[in-house]
Structure 1
Amino acid sequence: MPKIVCDVTKCSHNKSNVCYANRINVAGGNAENSKQTNCASFLDKNHYSTLTNNTNYDSDECNAIVCNVHSCTYNHNKCCYADSIQVTGDGANLYEETNCHTFKPE
């Protein structure tokens, strides 16, 4: 299973619901629920095309998650320790329209 399952189909890093960014940044400060979080690494395909052309192997999928959601159970020193995360926001045009669905408040 990929570290990041992503249904943000308009993101340049997304290929078949797998994230191929070098790393992602999850934002949300002191969020109280997943709607107050987002994937700050979202890049709209309309502006950036697809950034997954050179990634043909599962080993190239993203597994580095910088977490800036201080109130999440999985955050330890800005690293995400969840086994995997789900990023939601199908139809998103801006990073603020994405969410870390795995967010779990402390």
Structure 2
Amino acid sequence: MNQQHPSMEVMCHVHNCKFNENDYCFAPKLEVNPLQGSGASNSKEALCTTFQPR
């Protein structure tokens, strides 16, 4: 079974991330994880772990 993955534009305003080009994320995949445990109640409790500094 071939699973289809979502395709969407992802905005990024972390200008020192190596995947940021003109405020868009060009990473091959995006990973977002909670800061603690297995869930988040708001955006401050979530973290883009795809980030890599330039």
- After TM superposition, the score normalised by the length of structure 2 is 0.76
Query: Over residues 3-48 of structure 1, what are the superposed CA-to-partner deviations in whole Å (9 max), with x where a residue is unaligned?
Result: xxxxxxxxxxxxxxxxxxxxxxxxxxxxxxxxxxxxxxxxxxxxxx
Structure that is richer in helix per residue: 1
Aligned partner of 2:30 among 77, 85, 90: 85
Could you say which residue in structure 1 is the equivalent of 2:48?
100
Distance in 1 (alpha carbons) for counterparts of 2:12 and 2:33: 16
Distance in 1 (alpha carbons) for counterparts of 2:31 and 2:7: 13
Q: Structure 1 segments of 4 or more deviating over 2 A? A: none
What's the C-alpha RMSD, in Å, of the aligned pairs? Answer: 1.7
Structure 1 unmatched runs, 5+: 1-56
Aligned partner of 1:69 among 14, 17, 31: 14
Q: Answer 1 or 2: higher relative contact order, Cα 8 Å, separation at least 6.
A: 1
Distance in 2 (alpha carbons) for counterparts of 1:62 and 1:91: 23
- After TM superposition, the score normalised by the length of structure 1 is 0.42
Aligned residue for 2:31, secondary structure, equals strand
Number of matched residues? 49
Instruction: Report percent identity of matched pairs.
Output: 33
